[in-house]
Every structure is written in C-alpha cells, then in structure tokens.
Amino acid sequence: MSTSPEYATFHFHALHHADQPLLLPNAWDVISAVALAGAGYAAVGTTSLGVAAAHGYPDGRGLAEARDATMALALRLNGRLACPYTIDVEGGFGGDAGQVGDLAAELAEAGAAGLNLEDGLPGGEGLQDPVRQAESLRAVKERAPGLFLNARIDTHWLADSPPPLSVTLERAETYLAAGADGIFVPGVIADEDVSVLVAEIPAPVNILFAPGRHTVSRLADLGVRRISTGSLLFRTALQATLTAADAIRTGRQGSTGAAGAGGEVLGYEEVQRLVGEE
C-alpha cells in the first residue's frame, strides 16, 4: 500500500461505519488478494479454509502449520495491496490468550488492519468458554490495539439446531466488553434473525453471505455493516478449475469450455502484471 499502516487501520475501521456495508471478499493467496484489491474492493480478507486447504491442511484444527501459512501470507501481502487487509486466524491456532496476543502483534507488524477470531473449538468440538474467549480478545487489544478485532460467534455455524439468539447476544456482550470492535455471526440466514442481531448489538455486525438467500442490498437495508464471502470464492474457483479441466477432457469447449461458466480467462500477461512481473 502507498499509505501508512496507521492510515490503513484507521480507514479499515471507518469502512465499518460508512453509508454502505463493507463487502469483504476473502482471498487465499497473494494473487487472489492482489486481483481482488485491483478489482476495486475497499478491503480484502483471508479465508482460513482457503489458506489451509491451499497448503494441504484441514481448516479449523488449530494446526501450527496453518498458523505458519497464515502468517506467511500476511507478511507477503504487506505493501502489495492498494487497500487494507484483515486476516482470519481461526480460534488462534490452539494458542492460549498470551499466544493469541503475540499472533495479533505479529499481524499488526506485518501490516494487517484487522483480524477475525472465532470461538468455535478446533475440530468442531463445540464452543469456547466465553470467559476464556474474552481473555484472548483482551490480549489482542492489549498487544495490537489498532487492529479491527472481529469477534466471530459460532453458535449458528455448522449447527443443525442453533441455540436461541439470546445465547449469541450474551456472547456478543461479553466479547464487546473485552474489546472486540465488531461481531461476526456466520450461519445466520433469516432476515428476522439478522434484524435482531443488528438491533441488539451496539457494534458493526458482520454476516456471512449465503448465495441464493442473501443479497447485498437486502443486508444493507437490515443494517448489516460488513458482508463476508468466507470460503465461497475459493470453493468457486476450485469448482471452476474442475469444470474447465473436464471440458477439455470431454471436448465440450463451447461457450463454457476451458474458461468455465463465465467464458473468460485471465491472460498469462495479466497474471504476470498482477504479481508485479514486467
């Protein structure tokens, strides 16, 4: 970025209080982040699934290898984007509060403007105790006070029978008291549930975009301040790869062909330009 890290974090905070919600596309490597930033998005996030899977690891297991891959990506993005970037760190990769605080300090040093910290336990083994999660949140704000700390609440994520919204709201209150700047509740779909979260949480509410169920304009009308794509772009890109390869193999290279459903492919020279090659 041509601007200072301090300005990037200030700008990223401000984007959560603008007239329109922040539409945050989530990248999984340098080229996807550079391409999204170059397409004009106001900020870029990372997807923990995409980063872990791209390196051959499962998501949400708190693996040291996933932490290393995430940190390496954050470092490589420093100075490469024309917009702020925020990093998804799962639940802190299995670290205690002090280690999560250290991670936040490293990310701030790497130029990140924010981080996303979830309260789901590694391997989908339920939820972190909210008091313990609050300790990690406080550690983040102590070590990296400028970062936009997005506290993810997993009460509705991958849950067949989510608890009442009151449980989510209780966690949100605890996390905000610990210093969180925003609240992210993935898995909430219904308009009425989104409306309750927005009305009851005195901070920017982040919703995970659900294709076929959400529109940006409708979420904006409901008062959502941040809309994340999560792993959607990564999974879409992977499916497009399979579709293109299959089209080549079967000879079905018409309007969909090797280019996938959109019929367009970035040229070799364009990719080289995006990564900075002359």
pLDDT tens digits for range 38-55: 999 999 999 999 999 999
**Residue pLDDT, tens place only, 214-242:** 999 999 999 999 999 999 999 999 999 99
Question: What helix, strand, coil percent values describe the chain, rounded to 5?
Answer: 45, 10, 40
DSSP H helices in 184-231: 191-200, 216-221
Structure tokens belonging to residue 241: 């790869």
Quick one: pLDDT at residue 7?
86
Highest CATH level, class, for 5-249+256-275 = alpha beta
Least Cα distance to 121 among 149, 94, 88 occurs for: 94
Quick one: pLDDT at residue 1?
45
Structure tokens belonging to residue 28: 């999984």
**Residue pLDDT, tens place only, 159-189:** 889 999 999 999 999 999 999 999 999 999 9
Burial class (CB in 10 A: 0-12, 13-18, 19+), 242: exposed
DSSP H helices in 119-163: 130-143
Mean pLDDT, all residues of the chain: 93
Structure tokens belonging to residue 9: 């974090």
What one-character DSSP code corresponds to residue 124?
Answer: G
Quick one: pLDDT at residue 147?
98
Quick one: pLDDT at residue 276?
84
Which one is predicted more confidently, 125 or 69? 69
Quick one: pLDDT at residue 3?
64
The dihedral sign for the CA sequence 117, 90, 64, 60: positive
